[in-house]
A = this chain, B = another copy of it.
């Protein structure tokens, strides 16, 4: 089977002065890899005609697919369309459909259609047009000299819609691509090396055409199985089989599949059971609550959080014993248990999480160094507390604590 390669060309001065990070290229690379097209090179260049042409020469010589982003807007530094028309030796001609879409777009917004914007309706005569459902600048598709060339806007959500709805399906139709199947097991609560030890028996027996990648990030580990072959449904069966074997070895640590977050998993379980959740946060300072509230619909189960950053607030709003704080400080088992117990009853919740720790960079002692964290999980019947130690910087210690707290809650309610 022929293997196909792509070059990505990212156009825009903002990318070369360090003002904008090129997130488009990595997103597009992941999409192409998922359908079996390998990215050979990413060229990031300025809005200069000579640079665009030079990049096109290089890209068409070395790869079968060239995807360009950027430089399609209405301002005078946007020259990609004009330059590509020159490169493909054609003229810009009025496209009535785009003009009418532009008129509707500006009428709806009660804004006049300026001449500079109306120029977006003039398109190269010899390309296939990719209409823009999320914005105003259309994309272009050429199939010339054994190379597919596609030009798209640089605005991420406009580009993503075009890729998902038009470019990827059309590439899959045009080329005979290998079947590729991915499945990701979402895990938490254990380090990479311990997980590797636990699943050694499966990993060492994986067939040649199935790969396993470890993608760790702040207490969450994504285990990504990728299968390559020609028969998609057979591959899917094989990947499911491997995934089930791995899952069985990671019981209590494997919480879901395919990019689902702990918050989404918890939200689903809480809403299905009609349960309510309350939090009492010290060192995370509201981060756990903010994580939960990111997910639409969280108000159906999330009661709230008392962010008690100060001793007095721990006393007055969470009933933590004055003598305890005075004698033992705020980072210990009794304190997080009192915090959890009080917020559970005060907010009339079914479950509560409480955390207290030393995020750093200062505030540590020999006995309790920076990175020491206590987490308590409470229900009306049960209480569990854990002491953890995180070795990173302030912000990452907060995020690690957040992920571990959500993981312990998940295990508490599913065990």
Residues of A within 8 A of B (CB): 15-23, 25-31, 33, 38-46, 51, 58, 213, 215, 276, 279, 281, 284-290, 292-294, 296-299, 302-310, 312-313, 316-317, 346-348, 359-363, 394-395, 398
Contacts and interface: CB of A to CB of B under 8 A. Distances in A.
B40 A347 contact: no
The 4 closest A-B pairs by CB, nearest first: A18-B30, A285-B293, A286-B286, A286-B289
A29 B310 CA distance: 42
A170 to B, nearest CB: 20
Contacts of A29: 15-18
B361 A296 contact: yes
Contacts of A359: 293
A287 to B, nearest CB: 4
A302 B309 contact: yes
Contacts of A25: 22, 44
A309 B286 contact: no
A44 B46 contact: no
A313 B41 contact: no
A20 B15 contact: no
Given A15-B26, A304-B313, 7 more contacts: A18-B27, A40-B51, A286-B286, A293-B309, A303-B309, A310-B347, A317-B347
B22 A18 contact: no
A40 B15 CA distance: 10
A387 to B, nearest CB: 21
Given A21-B21, A21-B23, A290-B285, A307 B309 contact: no
A21 B24 CA distance: 9
Contact of A317 (B288, B297, B317, B395): B317
B296 A360 contact: yes
15 contacts: A16-B29, A16-B42, A18-B31, A18-B39, A22-B42, A40-B46, A41-B44, A281-B286, A289-B307, A296-B360, A299-B363, A304-B307, A304-B317, A305-B306, A307-B307
Contacts of A42: 15-16, 22, 42-44
Nearest to A48: B40
Nearest to A310: B303
Nearest to A316: B346
A19 B25 CA distance: 11
Given A41-B51, A309-B303, A289 B296 contact: no
A157 to B, nearest CB: 10
A82 to B, nearest CB: 20
A362 B299 CA distance: 11
Given A26-B18, A41-B45, A316-B347, A292 B285 contact: yes
A180 to B, nearest CB: 12
Contacts of A22: 21-22, 25-26, 42
Contacts of A308: 304
A347 B307 CA distance: 11
Contact of A286 (B16, B19, B288): B288
A293 B302 contact: no
A282 to B, nearest CB: 9
B309 A298 contact: yes
B26 A398 contact: no
Contacts of A312: 303, 347-348
Contacts of A19: 26, 30, 213, 215
Nearest to A282: B304
A88 to B, nearest CB: 22
Which residue among A44, A287, A299 has the maximum number of chain B CB atoms within 10 Å of its CB?
A44
A291 to B, nearest CB: 8
